[in-house]
Amino acid sequence: MSDFPTTSILLVDDNPTNLSVLRQALKELGLNVRIATNGEEALEQVQRKQPDLILLDVQMPGIDGFETCRQLKSNVLTQDIPVIFMTAQTDTASKVKGLSVGAVDYVTKPFEQEEVLARVKVHLQLRHLNYALHQTNETLEQRVKERTAALEKVQVQLVQQEKMSTLGQLVAGVAHEINNPIGYIAGNLHQTALVLNDILEHLRLYQTTFPNPGEMIEEHARNIDLEYLLSDLPKMIASMKAGCDRIKNISTSLRSFSRADKESKVLCDIHEGIDSTLLILKYRLQANDQRPDIEVIKEYGDLPLVECFPGQLNQVFMNILANAIDALEEGNAGRSFEDILVYPNKIKIITQLCPEQQKVVIKIADNGIGMSESVRQHIFEQLFTTKPVGKGTGLGLAIAQQIVVEKHGGAIDVKSAPGQGTEFIIYLSLSS
């Protein structure tokens, strides 16, 4: 039974006896074998359907094996197909030439059938492992892109339309959806690591069994830095696993941000809520082609746990921070990337404890365009907005005030002037 998924080998030799013997031996391994009798025919077959490995004779009528290999390696579509040379030329110059044109191994004639099959199996295993690693990495990247894009789309809609009453359910749902593909990727990484260990063990066993494999193999091992490759492949798996763990941590933060509130207040870490909200808005804070990163400065005081409705307070932080980003983006109009780099966009978050008043103070300020006094006086009114049609409903800050004042018995104020930025100040009691 084959050790590989449907695997195709192209056998190229002008000697009918060699073709017959090797073809039968390879078929007994469960491999799909195609044959060609010269270099031109081999190139034509590869163009029609790419094999997983090529056993290539050097001396053939027409173009020889060296030129055939060179043409394969010069084509981006076929350059990754491993080529093993078969030749009676045992001089060092021929071996060096074969490896220099792109071959991965060299078998001398008359060949030992068991040796040829062993080399084929090793290189097929390496090819399938590399393919699995590539596919897993691509899948991880694609899943992250898809889920990040989905999260960004949902988040943009929430910020623009300010439907904060449904934010918790939506974000929790996205976090759940992220967990599923990451679970698949993590599982595949685990299996890939097991397969890699088997292959590495096989190679080590081969090295132990054949401590003196010959100058050609030793030279090839040096050329490809085999020991480095053997040590680097597990590190690649480890780095991909670290990426999965990072995404899982992000998902945990999303669930923390969107947790449903109970009927009564609970003790909550204010800083955790702010940090979760910043994580949700990270994609808006990151650099783009119009501006560098928005700098977030956090000056957190030593706060005790506060009795509150955590989910509702997170909505307040979301509204204020999203408005700050909008103000910075609006202020960037007409400015160059270099100018913004010199005078960067900033959001400053300060938390303080006022023991004498038994209150916590949260200040969120930006260095954006600011607002006029007439706008400032109406900023918490329902349906009041300075944004273009379709960009806001005028409910976000009104809801934020309602949550702070009516739900928490606190207060919210705003300080601003044109060209001087805006600062929101939230006052919360430590207990009911």
**DSSP assignment of 224-267, as one string?**
TTHHHHHHHHHHHHHHHHHHHHHHHHHHHHHHHHTPPP-SS-EE
Residues in the chain: 432
Per-residue confidence (pLDDT) for residue 192, from 0 to 100 = 83
What is the structure's pLDDT at 407?
A: 87
Contact 357, 410 (CB under 8 A): no
Contact 7, 50 (CB under 8 A): no
Q: Tell me the two tokens of residue 41.
A: 């025919």
Q: Are β-strands 411-416 and 266-268 bridged in parallel, bridged antiparallel, or unpaired? A: unpaired
**Domain assignments of the chain as residue spans, ordered by start:** 8-111, 118-257, 266-429
- Exposure letters 267-278 (e unless 16+ CB within 10 A, then b): ebebeebbbbbb
User: 184 and 193 in contact (C-beta within 8 Å)?
Assistant: no
Q: Which CATH number fits domain 266-429: 3.30.505.10, 3.30.2130.10, 3.30.565.10, 3.30.930.10?
A: 3.30.565.10
| 8 A C-beta contact, residue 11 and residue 41 | no
pLDDT by position in tens, the chain (length 432): 345 456 889 999 988 888 888 888 888 888 889 999 999 999 999 999 999 999 999 888 889 999 999 999 999 999 989 999 988 887 888 888 888 888 888 888 887 888 888 888 888 888 888 888 888 999 899 988 888 877 765 554 454 444 444 555 566 666 667 777 777 787 888 888 888 888 888 888 888 888 888 888 888 888 888 788 878 888 888 888 888 877 776 776 666 666 555 667 889 899 998 998 888 788 899 999 999 999 999 999 999 999 998 888 988 998 899 999 999 999 999 999 999 999 999 999 999 998 888 899 999 999 999 999 988 888 887 666 666 544 554 567 888 888 899 889 999 999 999 999 999 999 999 876
CA-based torsion, 398, 400, 401, 406: positive or negative: positive
Give the whole-angstrom CA distance, residue 75 versus residue 17: 31
pTM over 0.85: no
Whether cis (ω within 30° of 0) applies to the bond prior to 110 is: yes
Count other C-beta atoms under 10 Å from residue 72's C-beta: 24
Angle between helices 167-209 and 310-331 (to 10 degrees): 90
Phi, psi of 361, deg, nearest 5: -115, 130
* H/E stretch holding 36: strand 32-36
Beta bridge partners of 55: 11, 84
Alpha-carbon distance 127 to 114, whole Å? 20
Distance CA 286, CA 328 (A): 13
C-alpha–C-alpha distance, residues 363 and 299, integer Å: 10
Compute CA 409 distance to the chain's CA centroid, rounded to the nearest angstrom. 43
**Domain 8-111: CATH architecture, name and number where available:** 3-Layer(aba) Sandwich (3.40)
DSSP E strands, 322-421:
346-354, 359-366, 411-416
The confidence score (pLDDT) of residue 294 equals 95
